[in-house]
């Protein structure tokens, strides 16, 4: 079962992957440097499918897409946070890394707790309790259904977004 890696408030893209590790575009290679300074054991401990739970303003700072790519490359399947910085949220959705905003979960979980998430419904199960994440916007839903923004635009063009706007 997926386990939780719990982080605090204001986790910046510099904490997720410091600038000097953005030396490749390969997600797996970037994944090895994910949280390399903020939590040095992170990349080696993540099992594929594990989940990050963060506090407020997760992913603030630089627009570097290396940040969500490194998290995805490390094997994380989803990030749940109380709130996300705008550019990070959009980047994560664009590259096919599910992100769910949920206020209630943060104080109800601990690092290492098992967690199950239904990406489509936003339902989160942890410690015998169910939490409901916020419903993503219509564009985010369209992108998630296609896989990535590139997949969506390549197959359907802007019409895919214009029809939900």
User: Cβ closer to another protein: 2 or 12?
Assistant: 12
CA distance 103 to 100: 10
Paired tokens of 129: 């309790």
| Piece of the chain touching another protein by CB under 8 A; list 45-53, 62-70, 104-112, 120-128 | 62-70
CA distance 28 to 66: 11
What's the 3-state SS for 3-30? EEEECCCCCEHHHHCCHHHCCCCCHHHH
Task: Choose, by CB under 8 A, the member of 10, 49, 75, 123 that binds another protein.
Answer: 10
Closest CB 127 distance from another protein, rounded Å: 27
What x/- string results for residues 109 through 148 when contact with another protein is judged by CB under 8 A? ----------------------------xxx--------x
Task: Choose, by CB under 8 A, the member of 20, 44, 48, 128 that binds another protein.
Answer: 20
Q: Classify residue 38 as exposed, middle or buried by CB count within 10 Å of its CB (0-12, 13-18, 19+).
A: middle
Paired tokens of 61: 């700072």
* Positions that interact with another protein (CB under 8 A): 10, 12, 14-15, 18-20, 22-25, 37-38, 56-57, 60-66, 68-69, 83, 85-87, 90-91, 94-95, 137-139, 148-150, 153-154, 158, 161-162, 164-165
């Amino acid at each position: 079962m997926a386990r939780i890696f719990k982080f605090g408030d204001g986790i910046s893209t510099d904490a997720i992957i410091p600038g000097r590790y953005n030396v490749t575009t390969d997600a797996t290679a970037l994944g090895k440097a994910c949280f390399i300074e903020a939590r040095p054991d992170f990349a080696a401990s993540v099992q594929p499918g594990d989940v990050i739970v963060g506090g407020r303003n997760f992913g603030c700072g630089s627009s570097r897409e290396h940040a969500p790519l490194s998290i995805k490359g490390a094997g994380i399947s989803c990030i749940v946070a109380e709130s996300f910085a705008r550019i990070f949220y959009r980047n994560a959705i664009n590259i096919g890394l599910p992100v769910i905003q949920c206020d209630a979960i943060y104080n109800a979980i601990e690092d290492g707790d098992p967690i199950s998430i239904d990406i489509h419904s936003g339902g989160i199960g942890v410690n015998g309790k169910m939490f409901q994440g916020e419903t993503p916007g219509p564009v985010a839903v369209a992108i998630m259904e296609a896989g990535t923004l590139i997949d969506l635009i390549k197959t359907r063009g802007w019409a895919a977004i214009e029809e939900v706007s």
